[in-house]
Amino acid sequence: MRLRFTKMHGAGNDFVVIDATQQPFSLSPEQMRRLGDRRFGVGCDQILVIEPATSADADFRYRIFNNTGDEVEHCGNGARCFVRFVVDAGLTAKRDIQVDTMNRRLRLTLQDDGRVTVNMGAPVFEHAALPFDAEGLTPAPVNGFPLWPVEGVSLAVVSMGNPHAVLRVTDVETAPIETLGPLIERHARFPRRVNVGFMQVIARDRIALRVYERDAGETLACGTGACAAVVAGIRAGWLDAAVEVQTRGGLLKIEWAGGDAPVLMTGPAVKVFDGEITL
């Protein structure tokens, strides 16, 4: 089938965006994998599919597939690229947009400087939300926030709609991403696997972050991972309510007032090229 797409990135986390409001979308998992393959297809971390809204007060629905073809619940960098796409494609005249993902309602605003602010919803700490199996583990609380011993490190577990395990490291450049990342990503205590964040606290308002993502491996940035890391850092008493997150692909700003307040993420969204592919 011939498919029109747009290649985009948010802080280096890259996407193939499919407008399914203007063309039928029905790819098999194998076709999705080929689309996402950096040698046999277009190549990306995730595939974003834009669909008409299915609820009255939303403007769109947007689905996210990792480049393995697995559908997932949320993608923060992708949400920003989604807004850039629908505005540039003339699919909406709005600049404040409401979109439904698999399990959340996001509110997004395209700023005058071209950055996008996303209301990412509130973090969830219940283990069933990830899911995380803490059976038999004794947490080591920091400032009353439980960190869980897994594979010899202390993990904060946070759901942003998708699952995150965050550990604090002294230097992200020397952190054992390649070994510990996959070990935790597919650890038995995370039955639906997990995104693994390695956070270096530089100051109370600045961290460096690398994320070994579920399915995709290390990406240059992870929006939901940045939210999860800042939330964990605030709960542990290491961070203030507004934090600049340095990722390998660029800077994200994350704000969280605590409790059941939503996490706000602001960052870039860039179109790279349009294309067509036959799958």
Ligand X SMILES: N[C@H](CCC[C@H](N)C(=O)O)C(=O)O
Residues acting as catalytic residues: 75, 222
Q: Does 66 bind ligand X (CB under 6 A)?
A: yes
Query: Site residues for ligand X, window 168-197 (CB under 6 A)?
Result: 195
Q: How far apart are CA 252 and CA 71, in angstroms?
A: 24
- Site for ligand X (CB under 6 A): which residue of 6, 7, 8, 13? 13
What 3-state class would DSSP assign to 215?
Answer: coil
Min dist. Cβ of residue 90 to ligand X (A): 25
Q: Which is nearer to ligand X, 142 or 270 (CB)?
A: 270
Binding region for ligand X (CB under 6 A) out of 211-219, 234-242, 246-254, 268-276: 211-219
DSSP-derived secondary structure letter, 69: S
Q: Which is nearer to ligand X, 72 or 155 (CB)?
A: 72
Structure tokens at 216: 């995709």
Q: Does 213 bind ligand X (CB under 6 A)?
A: yes
Binding region for ligand X (CB under 6 A) out of 106-114, 137-145, 166-174, 222-230: 222-230
Q: Which is nearer to ligand X, 263 or 276 (CB)?
A: 263
Contact status, residue 167 vs residue 153, Cβ threshold 8 Å: yes
Which of 105, 93, 32 is closest to 62 using CA atoms?
Answer: 105
Q: How far apart are CA 28 and CA 203, in angstroms?
A: 46
User: Within 10 Å of residue 67's Cβ, how many Cβ atoms?
Assistant: 25
Structure tokens at 268: 């870039």
Min dist. Cβ of residue 28 to ligand X (A): 19
Q: Which is nearer to ligand X, 69 or 78 (CB)?
A: 78
Query: Site residues for ligand X, window 72-91 (CB under 6 A)?
Result: 72, 75-78
Which of 166, 255, 238 is closest to 209 using CA atoms?
Answer: 166
Q: Which is nearer to ligand X, 72 or 243 (CB)?
A: 72
Structure tokens at 270: 């860039």
The DSSP secondary structure of 81-123, one letter per residue, reads HHHHHHHHTTS-S-SEEEEE-SS-EEEEEE-TTS-EEEE----
CB hemisphere CA count around 148 (13 angstroms)? 20
- Site for ligand X (CB under 6 A): which residue of 18, 32, 97, 222? 222
- Site for ligand X (CB under 6 A): which residue of 32, 216, 245, 252? 216
Q: Which is nearer to ligand X, 200 or 224 (CB)?
A: 224
- Site for ligand X (CB under 6 A): which residue of 215, 231, 246, 256? 215
Min dist. Cβ of residue 206 to ligand X (A): 19
What 3-state class would DSSP assign to 129?
Answer: helix
Catalog residues that contact ligand X under the rule CB under 6 A. Answer: 13, 45-46, 66, 72, 75-78, 162, 195, 213-216, 219, 222-224
